Amino acid sequence: MTMDDTSHRIHNPAAPDEIVAEVTLTAPAGLPGLVANARRAQKEWAGVPGAQRAARLNAFLDDVEAACEEIATSITLEQGKPLAEARGEVMKSVSEGRAMAGHAMLAGTMAVASARPFVRNMIVRRPRGVITAITPWNFPILTPMRKIAPAIAYGNSIVLKPSEFTPTAAVILDRLARAHFPENLLTVVFGGAELGQALSTADIDGITFTGSVGVGRHILAAAAASNLAEVSLELGGKNAVVVNDFEDAGPALEAIVGAAMQCAGQRCTAISRVIVNDEIAEDFVAALSARCAAMIVGDGRSPTTQIGAITTAAQFSKIAGLVELGIKEGAVCTAGGGRAAVADRPHGRFYAPTVLDRVTPDMRIAGEEVFGPVLSVLRYRNFDEAIEIANAPRFGLTSALFSNRNDLINRFVDEVRSGMIHINQGTVPDSHMPFGGIGDSGFGSYSVGPSAVSFYTTEHSVYNQYG
């Protein structure tokens, strides 16, 4: 790996004075050589039969699973989430990787009826080539593995740039991969915006990015202007749950709080808006606020911690600013609303689980992604209004409905504007299902599931005349 002499230190968000890792930043000038090496490795790997690629990928995933504790500890120290969550993230990445190995095994040649005699028509798929992956800090192993596994399964090489705030999980993946794949099939580079820009215009065949809408638009424009590489963007969300009716509020409350507060709300699929039937709103908001207020905030290494630290100082400031603005615009804070005091980590970036009631669709916090442990409650009088509120933001990643009415369930499935739809459950996706969004939440093929083949391979029509 070609590096310059610039080192970058990573600090623990629960104790910002604590340095927990250090990496050497990659010089953008060295990228052409790295990409050339990746292209040579890809040509070798493309010649390996698909079943053998899947077997070697699964062996690599075995090693990732065996390194769960090492990886999870690095995630907690760098990202801030509780250790139990970090372990779950590692195992989720393994599960998704195994599912993608299975999907790749099924992506073969397809026979198609011919329009002419003595001609055999086929559709075949080939590996796309060299893939660039740029990933964020909130899921230091899940998001990189969501790109590494399908890239390798379908016969590509991959150049990965993890977030400079949470790089160690990728360092471990790089180490483990060396025992299973050709040299340079996985290349890990480290850097910030300058390196990301260089990757967007490098001589590669596909770019997969997870992060903000603004950066995603920039990557799409850069790729269009330089190399016309295929682009897959997994962007933000302003996810809504509509609470219309229920026999028992307990499961709904548990699902909503879990989906909203995991990773301290720093996840694109987090529930951010609770759109609740006005007839049940008072009691439901009181119960929701009580559950959030009772959650334990602290260092992710403590076994009692339920919500860890906010990863970056900039993100903490954004969360605090949006909550303050929401209250100023008329929202009523019924839980949290500011920094959480943690006795043994007085300087940690901890934000209290927050509920803002009486939010209206015109408020900024109703439409902007907070990316923090904050729930905005909006009330509605009829289901038409609920659907209108849910669909108001330009985001369209995931959504949920709690109702026992079959007519409303079917309307929600037909009318809500999101790529993933959950009924009477939170917003946790399955490992083998398509993962992605519409509108400002995504562009191109979904990143998990059978449709990922459209990004990681190219399609070719074959006409074979034999008579």
Active-site annotation holds for 459: no
Of 230, 63, 47, 216, which Cα lies nearest the Cα of 130? 230
The packing angle between helices 406-415 and 383-390, to 10°, is 30
Q: How far apart are CA 75 and CA 83, in angstroms?
A: 8
Active-site annotation holds for 234: yes
3-state secondary structure the chain: CCCCCCEEEEEECCEEEEEEEEEECCCHHHHHHHHHHHHHHHHHHHCCCHHHHHHHHHHHHHHHHHCHHHHHHHHHHHHCCCHHHHHHHHHHHHHHHHHHHHHHHCCCCEEECCCCCCEEEEEEEEECCEEEEECCCCCCCHHHHHHHHHHHHCCCEEEEECCCCCCHHHHHHHHHHCCCCCCCCEEECCCCHHHHHHHHCCCCCEEEEECCHHHHHHHHHHHHHHCCCEEEEECCCCEEEEECCCCCHHHHHHHHHHHHHHHHHCCCCCEEEEEEECCCHHHHHHHHHHHHHCCCECCCCCCCCCECCCCCHHHHHHHHHHHHHHHHCCCEEEECCCECCCCCCCCCCCECCEEEECCCCCCHHHHCCCCCCEEEEEEECCHHHHHHHHCCCCEECEEEEECCCHHHHHHHHHHCCCCEEEECCCCCCCCCCCECCEECCEECCCCECHHHHHHHEEEEEEEEECC
Which is catalytic among the residues 96, 234, 263, 369?
234
3-state secondary structure 350-391: CECCEEEECCCCCCHHHHCCCCCCEEEEEEECCHHHHHHHHC
Which is catalytic among the residues 268, 292, 333, 369?
268
Of 326, 339, 338, 333, which Cα lies nearest the Cα of 285? 333
Q: How far apart are CA 437 and CA 454, in angstroms?
A: 16
* CB-CB contact of 270 with 241 (8 Å): no
Catalytic site positions: 234, 268
